[in-house]
């Protein structure tokens, strides 16, 4: 995958977790409804040291996009990116990602959201955010 991204002119600074496979996700879509069953696998082992070793790539960003899903991977790294965006006047897009994150991780969503210039949410996420 990294080779494909590089061939398309993108920089790929991927964290590799040798002892854990890449995550997988099964999706079922019926009309306008969908359901997901995810195995986050290696994403749950993301290390802040990988972010710190790749800060030069972040420094070149014209916009940063991240999601609430990163809370389940490494909230410390998410907040380092969010703070970096604010401190360096880099616009940040933030995706609420899933209703369950608003229900159970709101104390981690809100601090990240404070750094967002753009907010992304689907109808259900927006409704849950309005309730919370």
d(CA 43, CA 74): 9
pLDDT of residue 44: 83
Query: Can you name the residues that pair with 39 across neighbouring β-strands?
Result: 24
| 85 vs 88: CA distance, rounded Å | 5
pTM above 0.75, yes or no: yes
Q: pLDDT under 50 in the chain at which residues?
A: none
- CATH 3.40.1190.20 assigned to domain 2-131? The reply is yes
Q: Give the separation between CA 107 and CA 54, rounded to whole angstroms.
A: 27
According to the model, what pLDDT value does residue 2 have?
58
User: What is the model's pLDDT at position 1?
Assistant: 57
Distance between CA 44 and CA 73 in Å, rounded?
4
């Amino acid at each position: 995958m990294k080779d494909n991204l590089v061939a398309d002119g993108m920089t790929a600074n991927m964290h590799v977790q040798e002892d854990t496979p890449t995550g997988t996700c099964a999706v079922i879509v019926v009309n306008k409804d969908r359901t997901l069953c995810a195995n986050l696998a290696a994403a749950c082992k993301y290390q802040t040291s990988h972010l710190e070793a790749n800060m030069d790539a972040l420094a070149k960003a014209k916009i940063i996009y991240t999601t609430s899903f990163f809370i389940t991977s490494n909230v410390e790294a998410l907040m380092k990116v969010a703070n970096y965006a604010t401190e360096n006047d880099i616009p940040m897009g933030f995706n609420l990602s899933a209703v369950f994150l608003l229900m159970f991780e709101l104390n981690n969503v809100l601090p990240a959201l404070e750094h967002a210039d753009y907010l992304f949410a689907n109808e259900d996420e927006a409704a849950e955010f309005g309730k919370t």
